[in-house]
Chains A and B, each alone.
Chain A
Amino acid sequence: MTLLTISSTNPSLANISKISTKTLVQMNDVWASYDSKNYVLREITLSIDNGVNYAIVGQSGSGKSTLLKLMNGMMKPSKGQVKINYQTPDMHDKKFKRVMSKIGYIPQSLGLIKNLTVIDNVLIGALPRIGKLKSFFKMFPENEIKEAEKILKLVGLEDKLERKTYMLSGGEKRRVAIARALVQKPELLLADEIVSELDHVTAREIMNLVADAQRTFNLTSVMVHHNMQLALEYANRVAVIKEGQKILEIGVEGDRIVDFQTGNMTQKEIMELYKE
């Protein structure tokens, strides 16, 4: 890969693209805290347009995961405003539950049900579309089962449908989690460091799989990474979070940086990050 070249922003172009696309995620001066004393996120302002592959990069404890939880309503901001698809996220709000059913969320722990089979885990993604009584008796409609099988084939697990998930390898578990998110027919995919514990080869396989899915299903994605290299390679916008603050946001086009907004970071520090 050639080294990234940094070019200056073209504001007029940026404006045109904003008019033609819908903003899916909007955050204005967001602050977040778990104990209402120490803020894990401060002054976060960002906006993610439809179809963008957005990456959030930062070290452990920088507040990246919290940022994702704010996007699917699992956490409320202490200050500031979050809008997802023009709605305020709140997991206890019945109206927002409909929006949640269209947000694929893959936490770092993956959150698979280890005693259920691969196909059952994936069908969980279809639950919001199934009536309570039918889902209680595991009576999934034929088309939902077919859809789940199709997606499992896409992620390469078609021969492991009836395998319990605790028997799968780390890479396979990630494929199940991705399949579960895709069965939701999501508009937005949130993924929290899903390749950080994998070896180099498997990590690329999984990232390629997500990239393919993004193209196939026309997804907007927000992926949290530990590794700047992966972010630059797979995303078209990258935000760097440090100690709860967004210190940098760049737009990436191929191997060129096309848009550059920096906070209090020097160019030297940015290049240090890139070396990681």
Chain B
Amino acid sequence: MNQKNNLIIGIIIAAVVAASYNVGADPAEFVKGIPNLGIIVEEAVQIEPELLGTAFVSMFETIEMAFIGTIVGAAISLPLSMLAARNLNSKYVYGPIRAVLAAIRTLPSILWAILFVIMVGLGPFAGILATIMYTIGFMTKLQYESVEAVDSDPVDAVNAIGVSKSQLIRYVIMPESAAHLLSQLLYTFDYNVRHTSILGLVGAGGIGFYIINYIKFFEYGKAAVFMLVVLATVLVIDWISVKIRDKYIVKTQRGMEVKARIKTS
């Protein structure tokens, strides 16, 4: 058994080496290039603080884009996820919807951005549309998986009352999966802020537009200001979502349930 494992590891390493040779990935080049990184760092530390104002304004625009994209995307993906859940629909309903969703997920957000720049022109609107598409593809999958994970006992008990499917969704599926859905919303927003930051690369607005342009003109100091703002923003959003999660999500999980039980008994 051990020998077999060693053989498999050996084959994987050989495959990595062969593939690297094939695509011309030479570690020596990497070592040779390290001094170049020094030049960039040297320029990047010469930060130009007067650009901070512009950086914050464009970061705010990016957050707005991510916010609209996340909310609109989530509003579309919620009903879609109910249709794509296997425990609520026949295969003739969830099958085609899942196929469309898989197709939407095939394109990364940057390709959606290029597509929408062609459609609606340069600017944040193209970025928003790209974020919406990406959010639909990604979030619907997460949501229908949580819907399918809902405990079947309350579903059966309420179904036995003779309620309609929309009532079942409203009174069982939504409350039972609410913690997961909120968690996914926060995660998607967090993720959308990061990736909307780079949509500017293709002219779809936001802070990425400045970053790519300064890098193009070798002004690493200016680009660094904008990248630091992105970093700070992402950290702040991360902190806020942890707080929201603690307040609204962890409460409904098992730990608190046990605590509450001890209190009442």
| A and B associate | yes
Among the 9-residue stretches B70-78, B137-145, B166-174, B194-202, the one with 4 or more Cβ atoms under 8 Å from chain A is B166-174
Structural contact, A166 and B257, CB atoms closer than 8 A: yes
Of residues 133 to 163 in B, which have CB atoms within 8 Å of A's CB atoms?
153-163
A100 to B158 alpha-carbon distance, docked (Å): 10
Query: Is A113 within 8 A of B172, CB to CB?
Result: yes
Given contacts A107-B156, A127-B171, A169-B265, contact A98 B162 (CB under 8 A): yes
Known: A132-B167, A136-B170, A169-B261. A114 touches B176 (CB 8 A): yes
Please state if A105 and B157 are interface contacts (CB–CB under 8 Å).
yes
State whether B166 touches A127 (Cβ < 8 A). Answer: no
Number of chain B residues whose Cβ lies closer than 8 Å to a Cβ of chain A: 29
Set A91, A96, A99, A115: member contacting B159, Cβ < 8 A? A91
Q: How far is the CB of A233 from chain B (nearest CB, A)?
A: 26
Contact of A132 with B172 in the complex, beta carbons under 8 Å:
no
Whether the Cβ atoms of B167 and A115 lie closer than 8 Å is no
Please measure, in the bound complex, the distance between the C-alpha atom of A125 and the C-alpha atom of B158, giving whole angstroms: 8
Known A107-B153, A135-B167, A136-B170: A100·B161 in contact at CB below 8 Å: yes
9 inter-chain pairs at a CB distance below 8 angstroms, sorted by A residue, are: A107-B156, A107-B160, A111-B153, A113-B154, A124-B161, A124-B163, A127-B163, A132-B166, A169-B264
Determine whether B175 belongs to the interface, using a CB cutoff of 8 Å to chain A.
yes
Q: Is the CB of B160 within 8 A of A74?
A: yes
Question: Which residues of A does B touch, CB under 8 Å?
Answer: 72-74, 91, 96-101, 103, 105-107, 109-116, 120, 124-125, 127-128, 132, 135-136, 166-169, 172, 184
B239-265: which residues lie under 8 A (CB-CB) from chain A?
252, 256-257, 260-261, 263-265
Which residues between 210 and 265 of chain B lie within 8 Å of chain A, taking CB atoms?
Answer: 252, 256-257, 260-261, 263-265
Q: Give complex CA distance A97, B252 in Å.
A: 32
Interface centre among A72, A96, A106 (most CB of B within 10 A): A72
Residues of B within 8 A of A110 (CB): 153, 157
- Bound together, the chains give a CA A172 to CA B264 distance in angstroms of 10
CB-contact partner of A100 in B160, B179, B263, under 8 A: B160
**Does B264 lie within 8 Å of A167, measured CB to CB?**
yes
Q: Once bound together, how far apart are the Cα atoms of A97 and B162, in whole Å? A: 5
